[in-house]
Structure 1
Amino acid sequence: MDATVDTDTDTNAAPHSPEAFDALEQLVGVNLARLRAERQLSLDALARASGVSRAMLAQIESARSVPSIKVLCKVAAALKVSVAAFLRRHATNGFEHLPAERSTRVVSANGRYSARPLYPNDESAVAEFHELRIAPLHTEAGVRRAPGTTVNLVVSDGTLEVSVHDRRQLLATGDAIVFDADQPHSLRNPGDTEARAFRVTLRAETPPRWDVPAAGATREEAVRDRALD
């Protein structure tokens, strides 16, 4: 049984709707104000350090303006954070502590396999990070994911046999493997003690649509066919 949660942070607002932009302005503003306060910087001090005017910084913090990437890069450099720090939703203090005793561990029906999410699972994530536990002599079939999804797995304790289609790879403690998760795959613990592993699942990116006109087709025909698709 796999522990994956897919949720949207704002299911009511379309990606390019006015509501979505308002939410983005608010998010960037709140995070900028928090980061500046943590560093005990005044607006004037941050303006001098970043080269961004005090007026612009005040507009960003009050959610009256969405800054350009260039402006955000300047401010991020001055605050010594990544640009992504302005877009955090799950970590109001810049980090989120995930105590082991309060974690949600998903256990298979027979109790011989479990997965614990090691990332905030209340919002959609490009990468999923799990701790796995596999009982002795147990085989757990993997859940096939969308094409382009990859798994990076490292064994932290014991041994694991990873099967992808009809190919098998035995992993000892410390060994790692990367494989395509859209293929039939499974994990087997061949040992007589519990095996543990850490798994990172990288979700597939939506590929661009490459429109290749049929031989002899005109550009207008290609556009028409794309609209009907």
Structure 2
Amino acid sequence: MKDRTGSLDQRIAHRVKALRTSLGLSLEALAARCDVSRSMISLIERGESSATAVVLERLATGLGVPLASLFDAPAPQPEPVARAAAQPWWRDPGSGYRRRNVSPAGLPSPIQIVEVQFPAGARVAYETGAREPRIHQQVWVLEGRIEVTVGDEVQLLDAGDCYAMTLDRPMAYRNPTRRPARYAVVIAAQAGARS
């Protein structure tokens, strides 16, 4: 599996800028919405910074979209099939976890699927808050074990377990073991969600 982080950073750069522009937000306005500095957003939009998953989640919240949508490739002609070779992996420079969007980009579907490879001992925390429209998420553990904290609730999930939640509170993922874990995240936005 080849990491194409450079091209994904450019994809994220274009996507963040396009979403911000479509909402009519200045860099300052987006910075105020998501608690990310104007200079960091500018670096991300120019593809000059490899942002962490935590920063990208803040941007997604400020833009009113699921995190997974920041990784979508421009799809002038949406295709119903996303071939594995066209699903690049992105590595979070903060936690080392790797993710890829599995769902076809550009389709008018409220559902997105993401695969995550989570290193042994890794942890990532998001300051997720309530969003409009509501975003629902399910985490299905394919291999290993992970701990998911949503608000004050902690769930220890083993292979085969699936946990459903709404993205409306701070959350964290942790791999408490010495082995990598792999899980799928299924995200669904209620009708009217921007993507």
Offset, 1:166 = 1.5
Cα-to-partner distance string for 1:90-130 (whole Å, 9 max, x where unaligned): 23xxx42412x432222111461121101122455411100
- Is 1:90 the counterpart of 2:155 in the alignment? no
Partner of 2:113: 129
- CA distance in 2 between counterparts of 1:8 and 1:102 reads 12
Match of 1:202 in 2: 188
Q: The residue matched to 2:69 in structure 1 has which SS? A: coil
Residue 104 of structure 2 corresponds to 120
- Let me know the Cα RMSD of the aligned residues: 2.7
Matched residue of 1:128: which SS?
strand
Which one of 88, 110, 123 corresponds to residue 139 of structure 1? 123
C-alpha spacing 1:143/1:111, structure 2 compared with 1 (3 Å): same
| Bigger Cα Rg | 1
What is the 5 A alignment of 1:136-215? Answer: 136-142=120-126, 144=128, 146-147=131-132, 148-206=134-192
8 Å CA contact 1:3, 1:106 repeated in 2: no
* Alpha-carbon shift at residue 186 of structure 1 (Å): 1.2
Q: For residues 9 and 197 of structure 1, do their structure 2 counterparts lie closer, same or farther at Cα, with a shift above 3 Å needed?
A: closer
Moved over 6 A (4+): 6-10
Whether the aligned pair in 2 keeps the contact of 1:136 and 1:193 (CA below 8 Å) is yes
CA distance in 2, matches of 1:161, 1:206: 31
**Shift in Å, 1:159:** 0.2
Indicate the percent of aligned positions where both proteins have the same amino acid.
Answer: 21
Please say if residues 8 and 124 of structure 1, whose CA atoms lie closer than 8 Å, have aligned partners that are also in contact: no
Q: Tell me the amino acid that sits aligned with residue 106 of structure 1.
A: W
**CA spacing shift, 1:140–1:178, aligned 2, 3 Å:** same
SS at 1:182 equivalent = coil
1:109 corresponding residue in structure 2: 93
Contiguous gaps of at least 5 residues in structure 1: 11-88, 208-229
Distance change in 2, residues 1:143/1:197 (3 Å): farther
* Structure 2, unaligned runs of 5 or more: 1-52, 54-66
- After superposition, the Cα gap between the structure-2 partners of 1:127 and 1:3, relative to the gap in structure 1 and judged at 3 Å, is same
Q: Deviations over 1:145-196 (max 9, x none)?
A: 6242110110000001010012100001100000111211111111101110
In structure 2, the residue corresponding to 1:200 is in which secondary structure? strand
Contact kept, 8 Å, 2:125 with 2:173, in 1: the verdict is: yes
Q: Which structure has more strand as a fraction of its residues?
A: 2
When the two structures are aligned, how many residues end up with a matched partner? Answer: 125
Superposition deviation, residue 143 in structure 1: 6.3
TM-score (norm 2): 0.56
Query: Which structure's relative contact order is higher, taking Cα pairs within 8 Å and 6+ residues apart?
Result: 2
